[in-house]
């Protein structure tokens, strides 16, 4: 792969894309896990 | 199908397997898309910056698709007062903002070597910036109003008004003089892109859409769990 003078633009574009995708995946999974545990705990505590 | 999934219980059953399945489909499309994209030869005009197109165009297409989903969900939420539609709308906004940010940043990184400028106040670029601000505005409006029902209505109205921006983005290159290139895929006479670029672009575009689908379903599930936890907390406080 020859990126010559454009490497300074191509690699940051891919790096930023990887970072944003990583944020979307991690934030989504962490958020879903946290709310799931909280909902299950609240509903269990609520049962008479 | 939409009517069947409108039931949160059915939606949770469906999304439990559909979200990981769409995630796997996204990986299966994006991995070869990246491979073929990096293996593609430099373009005769753009050189190696053509590789930015494989992540810029799918991000821009997905950002517009997310806004259409946000608008559709907001319509069902506002007109039919459907709680699941509101949860779906709320879940879509941060993803839409992220995809729009990617479109803007990767476009800027392509524009600097090709146009000689990081940014120009061109109709296409400006309307996509407006799309980003609409996503941020939607989230800010929801966060600013304590009453969730009022916040949902106000944000839904904003989302529906913002739908007018989608045709403006799409046709901006035809309606105004623009530095941004015109439609090069869905046009009469077929795509203006060589197959060696079109295949990785197509794989990445569908891969991005599948990734959004997986993340959207999972975030909507999170939103439903959040509401369940809130209801349980209110019931516990009332005893």
- Model confidence pLDDT, tens digit, residues B126-184: 999 999 999 999 999 999 999 999 999 999 999 999 999 999 999 988 888 877 877 77
Average per-residue pLDDT in chain A? 88
Interface of A with B (CB under 8 A): 1-7, 9-10, 12-14, 16-17, 20-21, 23-25, 27-29, 31-32, 35-36, 38-39, 42-43, 45-46
pTM of the model: 0.93
The domain limits of chain B are 54-179+207-231
ipTM: 0.90
Can you give the pLDDT at residue B232?
A: 82
State how far the Cα of B182 lies from the Cα of B2, in Å rounded to an integer.
35
> Would you tell me how many other CB atoms lie within 10 Å of the CB of residue B2?
8
- Give, as one character, the DSSP assignment of residue B41: P
Can you give the pLDDT at residue B47?
A: 83
List Cβ<8 Å contacts ≥24 apart for B73-77: B74/B155, B74/B156, B74/B157, B74/B159, B74/B160, B75/B156, B75/B160, B77/B152, B77/B156
Task: Name the one residue in this structure whose structure tokens are 């936890």.
Answer: B229
State how far the Cα of B39 lies from the Cα of B198, in Å rounded to an integer.
13
Contacts of A36 in chain B (CB under 8 A): 221-222, 225
Q: Which residues of chain B have pLDDT under 50?
A: none
User: Mean pLDDT throughout A18-23?
Assistant: 97
Can you give the pLDDT at residue B45?
A: 80
Interface contact A24-B215, CB threshold 8 A: yes
Structure token digits, residue A41: 């705990």
Can you give the pLDDT at residue B40?
A: 87
List Cβ<8 Å contacts ≥24 apart for B15-20: B15/B217, B15/B218, B15/B220, B15/B221, B16/B221, B18/B213, B18/B217, B19/B214, B19/B217, B19/B218, B19/B221, B20/B214
- Dihedral pair phi/psi, residue B14, rounded to 5°: -70, -45
The domain limits of chain A are 4-43
State how far the Cα of B24 lies from the Cα of B7, in Å rounded to an integer.
25
Residue A46 in this model has a pLDDT that exceeds 70: no
- Distances, alpha carbon B58 to alpha carbons B3, B86, B103, B210, in Å: 29, 26, 8, 11
Contacts of A12 in chain B (CB under 8 A): 109
Non-local CB neighbours of B207 within 8 Å, separated by 6+ positions: B25, B26, B27, B28, B29, B30, B33, B58
């Amino acid at each position: 792969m020859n990126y010559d003078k454009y490497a300074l633009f191509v690699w940051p574009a891919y790096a930023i894309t990887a970072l944003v995708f990583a944020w979307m995946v991690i934030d989504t999974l962490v958020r879903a896990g946290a709310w799931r545990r909280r909902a299950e705990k609240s509903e269990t505590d609520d049962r008479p | 199908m939409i009517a069947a999934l409108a039931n949160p219980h059915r939606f949770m059953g469906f999304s439990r397997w559909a979200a990981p399945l769409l995630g796997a489909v996204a990986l299966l499309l994006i991995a070869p898309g990246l491979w073929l994209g990096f293996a593609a030869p430099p373009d005769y005009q753009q050189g190696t910056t053509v590789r930015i197109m494989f992540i810029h165009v799918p991000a821009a297409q997905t950002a517009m698709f997310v806004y259409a989903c946000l608008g559709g969900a907001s319509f069902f939420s506002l007109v039919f007062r459907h709680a699941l539609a509101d949860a779906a709308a709320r879940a879509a906004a941060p993803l839409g903002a992220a995809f729009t940010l990617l479109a803007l940043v990767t476009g800027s990184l392509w524009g600097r070597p090709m146009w000689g400028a990081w940014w120009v106040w061109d109709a296409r670029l400006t309307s996509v910036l407006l799309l980003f601000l609409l996503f941020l505005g939607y989230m800010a409006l929801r966060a600013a109003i304590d009453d969730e029902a009022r916040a949902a209505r106000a944000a839904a109205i904003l989302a529906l008004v913002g739908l007018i921006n989608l045709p403006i983005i799409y046709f901006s290159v035809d309606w105004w003089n623009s530095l941004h290139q015109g439609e090069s895929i869905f046009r009469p006479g077929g795509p203006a892109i060589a197959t060696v670029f079109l295949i990785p672009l197509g794989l990445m575009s569908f891969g991005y859409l599948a990734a959004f689908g997986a993340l959207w379903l999972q975030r909507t599930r999170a939103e439903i769990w959040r509401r369940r936890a809130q209801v349980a907390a209110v019931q516990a406080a009332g005893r």
